Amino acid sequence: VRASHILIKHAGSRRKASWRDEHGVRISATTRDQAAAQLRTIRDDIVSGKSKFDVAASRISDCSSAKRGGDLGTFGRGQMQKPFEDASYGLSVGEISDIIDTDSGVHIIMRTG
């Protein structure tokens, strides 16, 4: 499959730093519920047409894929964390997931291929 995502890290994330928060100050102060609420608002804006997925990803995602609009390229089974993989394979092309929890943080995923 091919997918893009937006990741928001939180205090429970396995790595508490990102390109947006090099020292993890914001990430360490963010609860999982706060991260999920922020991501839910972003998802709602994308679905309603107020925002575009790639633009939101490049501004907000804690993943280095932000510089590619969240694009992760193609991947097969066993290459991503299980909840992420299951969600990605369960989507139709163009569909956006609900909030997905992994050890990295909370995500929304858009299957692109």
- Residues near 51 by Cβ (< 8 Å), separated by ≥ 6? 42, 45
* Residues assigned a catalytic role: 5, 63, 81, 104, 107
Distance CA 27, CA 9 (A): 6
Name the 3-class secondary structure at 83: helix
pLDDT category at 33 given cuts 50, 70, 90 is very high
7-30: pLDDT as tens digits: 999 999 999 999 999 999 999 999
> Could you tell me the fold of the domain covering 2-111?
Chitinase A; domain 3 (3.10.50)
**What mean pLDDT value characterizes the chain?**
97
Which three-class secondary structure string do you get for 33-82? HHHHHHHHHHHHHHHHCCCCHHHHHHHHCCCHHHHHCCEEEECCCCCCCH
For residue 14, the model assigns a pLDDT of 96
How does residue 83 score in pLDDT terms, banded at 50, 70 and 90? Answer: very high
pLDDT, tens digit (0-9, with 9 covering 90-100), for 57-79: 999 999 999 999 999 999 999 99
